[in-house]
Structure 1
């Protein structure tokens, strides 16, 4: 299914490990319920964010592949660009463009920033994504 889509790059785990300096702790951007995100850089200078899915996420290969296909079709100016994925064995990873600012959730839900983004503005952002 994924191999039939030439627009969807599939990276090998070695290339992503090299880009993130072996998933070094200094490149860790964050961790969530589905895995850890690392900053990386390809030899051509392109900065990336690699979400390394945890084995405990419970997501099987078929579910992962379906998610990748859906994500690859969701391109919008208000969404981080999906760059590709890695599907080698247990090393399921999603690759996105790296954006140096915090994630959208920090702007929507950080109490210190509430004065900057009232509920009307938050709704406009959410509408723009849809």
Structure 2
């Protein structure tokens, strides 16, 4: 009888641990984060960058660094039936950074256009797509 009680106790502990681990696995549900533009150079000639936001990824975060000694003008838009719809217009100060958060982004093509007063552009751009708020 002693062996049975001990075996039953060990069995109950194992079942309890399995139950706890499966509950925590369901509760954690980590978000998915994809880099769609990874630290790319801002280029003088092109004047912009673009990315396609994957379906199911409703959020995007655009990070721009300006390594020039003058202000960088930034315009963010997306494609709607073949026409650009501007959703952001702003500036990045000299030797500074800017972060833009985008919602309802799933399935759209986005454009980031930029320029300076003298045409010289220098810096980096990164874009992350996510299925959770960034």
More helix by share: 1
TM-score by length of 2: 0.27
Which of structures 1 and 2 has the larger relative contact order (alpha carbons within 8 angstroms, sep 6+)? 2
Larger Rg: 2
> Which structure: greater strand fraction?
2
